[in-house]
Amino acid sequence: MNNITSGVKMNMNKKFRILIPSVMVVTGILAIVLVSFNTSQQTDAQNVSLGQLANSISEIRPNATVIKDKIDTVENVPLHLVSNSMISNSLQSNGKDPAILLTKSGLAEMTLSEAMTADGQKIISATITNIGKNKFYLKEFAMGGETDTGIGALSSVALDADYSSEAWGTNPKPSMTDLVVLNPGESFSAHIKGNWVVSEINKPITKYGAAALFYYDSDAPEYNEGRNWDLAVTNNK
């Protein structure tokens, strides 16, 4: 009996003797890998200054295709929903004290969809729908994306009602420059297509999203001293 018990103890100790050093080795290797990863990230960043990086990369600016409607397909390719949001934001301020962030649900819904064409190009599509009770003015609709490291190199403005050639300078003209009225139930969509890689650093755009800015008539309950409401969706939530 005693022998058996002591045999079990012996086996457990043996297991511990093998298990604990193994865990130690694995943890140690993990720590070394993490240190190496962190150091290599720092080394890469130190080789090129942030300013050099920021000013050497060219923004990718695909033209957006727009339509005042919802869309389910692009070029007969079905779109798959990635995310949606019904939370709109606006700042409330008296112009003197720091503004307060207002959030409101149910004014509009924004959806983000994607698809892949037969020749391997990515399609990103976004739609805003007025799900509230009053009409609003859609003044901007934009799409963008960034690399895993946070370089925001993809930029496409589908609509900006503030556009002027003088003020935009070398920035591309938005696909649409007229204010769009969206009555309750109406939608506006835009999509871009391509393979987006930041060639200077050979990194793909992996995170992307879309945003809309809109405002209400001064007699509407949602009117906020002329300030915009914004609604954004990303594939990164």
Partner 1 sequence: MIIKNIRKRFYTTTLMALIIASSIMILNPISNASATKTSNCTSSSDPKGIDFVSTVEVWIAAGSGNLDKFTSFSPCTKATSNVGGDPHSIDRTTTTQVSFSEHLGDKITYFDPTTGVQIECAGTAIDGPGDTDNNGSGSQYTTDNFKGTVIKTVKGTSSCTVTVYPVTGTSPKPEGIVMSTDVGGFLVIDQNNKKVWKMTTSGVFTLCKDFSTILGAPQPWYVTANDSQDIFGVTFRDEQKIRYLGTLSCLVAQTSGTAPGQVFQVEIAGDGVDAYVNYQNNAKVSRYDTTTNTFTTDDWNTECLSCFGFGLDSQISTNTYYATMSSGSSANKIVKGSIP
Q: Under rule CB under 8 A, which residues in 63-102 are in contact with partner 1?
A: 89, 91, 93-96, 98-99, 101
Which residues ranging from 173 to 212 are in contact with partner 1 (CB under 8 A)?
Answer: 207-209, 211
Task: Provide the 3-class DSSP secondary structure of residue 182.
Answer: strand
* φ/ψ (deg, to 5) at 197: -130, 135
Comparison of 21 and 106: residue with beta carbon closer to partner 1: 21
Contact 130, 184 (CB under 8 A): yes
Asked whether position 105 contacts partner 1 by CB under 8 A, the answer is: no
For residue 8, give both structure tokens.
């079990």
Q: How far is the CB of 104 from partner 1 (least distance, A)?
A: 14
Segment near partner 1 (CB under 8 A); pick from 114-122, 124-132, 140-148, 186-194: 140-148
Q: How does strand 187-194 pair with strand 122-130?
A: antiparallel
Asked whether position 128 contacts partner 1 by CB under 8 A, the answer is: no
Q: How far is the CB of 77 from partner 1 (least distance, A)?
A: 24
* φ/ψ (deg, to 5) at 231: -145, 125
Comparison of 35 and 73: residue with beta carbon closer to partner 1: 35
Residues in the chain: 237
Comparison of 11 and 56: residue with beta carbon closer to partner 1: 56
CA distance 132 to 134: 6
